[in-house]
Structure 1
Amino acid sequence: MTADALPQATFKDPVLVAATLGTGLMAGLYLAFDIGVTPVLARREDERFVAAMRRVNDALDDNAAFGALFLGVFMATGAAARRLARAHRSDAARRARAAAVLYGLSVVVTICVNLPLNRRLRTASVTSAASLAAARKAYESPWRRANAVRTAACLGALTLLGGTARRRTAVRTR
């Protein structure tokens, strides 16, 4: 008898799928800033950096879809963990709870670090070269560090959810 069936992924729980996809989208957004947006802006002069980050922050703050995704992922991940626990899938529930904690960390960092920095940048008086430089200095490094934490937390949560969402089928033998 030989084992010839390949593992297959099955996605039976739409809440778990939504949590996984949403976490992937958030991880991708944060990662795009880590490796694309902020490195490019770091090479710009203070006025262009401040103006660009203000526009980006305003666009995301005014975007209901972003807000729904940002908070919806957290709720979906928690709901998936509860559903898995009720289905007596304790290992999967444990991974989903850990993913909820990691994603929750990204929410806390956003609320406690990134959003206050965004508000300070938005309201900073930038009437001179010195004030632009000061606003940028107070914003750029702390924001990038916090974003790296959000990225790592979301990537960790995504890894956990991806492993939870995938269920290997039994290997068939002939």
Structure 2
Amino acid sequence: MRTNTTAGGGSRIATVLLMVSTVLVGLMAGLFFAFDVSVMPGPARGGGRTYVTAMQNMNAVIDGNGLFGTVFVVALFAAVASAAVELRRGRRGVAVWVGAAAVLYLAVLVVTLTVNIPLNNELADAGDAARLTDFPIVDRFRGTWAATNIVRTACSTAALIALVRALVLYGRATRPR
């Protein structure tokens, strides 16, 4: 009885890793896209204090949300593990696309950790928005944060496209002959 393989020769772990990485990267791409098209423009319509309050609240919710952090990090680990499994199983085409996705998603993490999170922390350190007097901080935050979020959206979407391509190749490689 073959309990560790799928019908066409793909391992269950390979299938699960590829599916999990695709879903998690897709969730992150969707989140970044939503920020680009609705979340960031919404508070920007209000004044500086409204913007700061909204961003401080959103950042606090995201920071305190274990599910967000888990998806954010596990997406990369699942992609790296998937690429390694595919390479070991001799499916270089699949491994290359998953590896490309992992590199693109790693760029998302690097941008987040080096730009977006420090900006979030700077905005949090500004204190109560009702007492805010340093409004140039809002302009610096808004411009830089929004621009780097577009980079995160583009990279995570490109990673998702690479993973979808990997899924197609995986399906071809593992289908019964």
Alignment TM class, shorter chain as reference: 0.7 to 0.9
Question: Relative to structure 1, is the Cα distance of residues 11 and 118 closer, same or farther in structure 2, using a 3 angstrom cutoff?
Answer: farther
Name the count of aligned residue pairs.
161
- Residue in structure 2 matched with residue 48 of structure 1 by the alignment: 50
Listed as ranges, the matches of 1:148-167 within 5 Å are: 148-166=150-168, 167=171
* 1:83 and 2:85 matched: yes
Quote the residue 1:94 is aligned against. 96
Give the distance between the partners of 2:132 and 2:103, measured in 1 at CA: 42
Query: How many angstroms does 1:11 deviate by?
Result: 10
TM-score, normalization by structure 1: 0.86
Q: RMSD of aligned C-alpha atoms?
A: 2.0
- TM-score, normalization: structure 2? 0.85
- Answer yes or no: is the 8 Å Cα contact 2:49–2:130 preserved in 1: no
Residue 139 of structure 1, aligned match among 138, 141, 151: 141
- Return the alpha-carbon distance in structure 2 between the equivalents of residues 122 and 129 of structure 1: 11
Cα displacement string for residues 83-114 of structure 1 (whole angstroms, at most 9, x for unaligned residues): 11011010110111110000000000000000
Question: What are the superposed Cα offsets for residues 105-153 of structure 1, whole Å, 9 maximum, x if unpaired?
Answer: 000000000000000000015565642x222112101000111111000
- Structure 2 partner of 1:64: 66
Structure 2 stretches of 5 or more lacking a match?
1-9
SS at match of 1:88: coil
Relative contact order higher in (CA < 8 Å, ≥ 6 apart): 1
Match of 1:73 among 65, 72, 75: 75
Hey, what's the Cα distance between the residues in 2 that align with 1:86 and 1:11? Answer: 11
**Structure 2 Cα separation of the partners of residues 15 and 119 of structure 1:** 33
- Ranges of 4+ aligned residues in structure 1 off by more than 6 Å: none
Amino acid at match of 2:116: N
Distance 1:11 1:35, change over 3 A: farther
Unaligned runs of at least 5 residues, structure 1 = 1-9
Identity across the alignment (%)? 36
The answer to whether the Cα contact below 8 Å between 1:11 and 1:17 also exists between their aligned partners in 2 is: no
Matched, 1:19 2:14: no
Q: Is the 8 A contact 1:11 1:165 kept in 2?
A: no
